[in-house]
Amino acid sequence: MEASPLRWGLKQVEKSVATNLQAWQPMTPNSIGQAARNHLRMPTEVRVDDLSSPDVQALIAEHLAGMRDTSPPGSGYALAIDGLKKSEVTFWSAWQGSTLCGCGALKQLSASSAEVKSMRTRPAFLRQGVGQAVLNCIIDAALARGYRTLHLETGTGHAFVAAHALYLRNGFVWGGPFGDYEASDFNVFMVKALRSNEDAA
């Protein structure tokens, strides 16, 4: 005898409940605290910045110091404030409310290519989507300007693992040296092919 639709539906509900109960884990104080922080997290606002504020200048100094600490001598290519103010560079700062939490920049290499520079998230804001928000703005700007490729240079080792994962999630692939860079045992290079607005039309 064929089971009625109602009986079949109840069996599915019972199976779903049993599965969810098996997967359920009680929340610990740490997980409760993290959930609360996620719920209360402020949205990240990313805006073009002229690097004139002391907060932004302090963040660039922090970034340069971090690159020196994690890169062998002669292998660091982070831009200082003078380099970030050049006409071929656009710089963004990221904010949660009135608090500066990160930055990033886009440097034009040619009429068809550009480079991601100065990606930095302050330690207190790690794993909160700040880097993704900044990278979204950089990619959107590159697309709007009609660049065909977006390049970046970064380092290797534990300090750079999260950055590698961010770029790979966003369509970057491993590549070779570009511009004036030279390959080394420390430096690695990535590239992302872009689709312009004209291609998407």
Mind listing the pLDDT tens digit for each residue in 140-198? 999 999 999 999 999 999 999 999 999 999 999 999 999 999 999 999 999 999 975 45
Q: How far apart (Å, rounded) are the C-alpha atoms in residues 21 and 28? A: 17
CA separation, residue 128 to residues 5, 96, 132, 133 (Å) = 45, 11, 9, 10
Does the global pTM surpass 0.75? yes
What ranges do the domains of the chain cover?
A: 41-200
Q: How far apart (Å, rounded) are the C-alpha atoms in residues 181 and 151? A: 11
pLDDT at 30: 53
Q: How far apart (Å, rounded) are the C-alpha atoms in residues 170 and 93? A: 20
Indicate the fold that domain 41-200 takes in CATH: Aminopeptidase (3.40.630)
In the predicted model, residues of the chain with pLDDT beneath 70 are 1-40, 196-201
pLDDT at 34: 47
How far is Cα of residue 18 from the mean position of the Cα atoms in its chain? 38
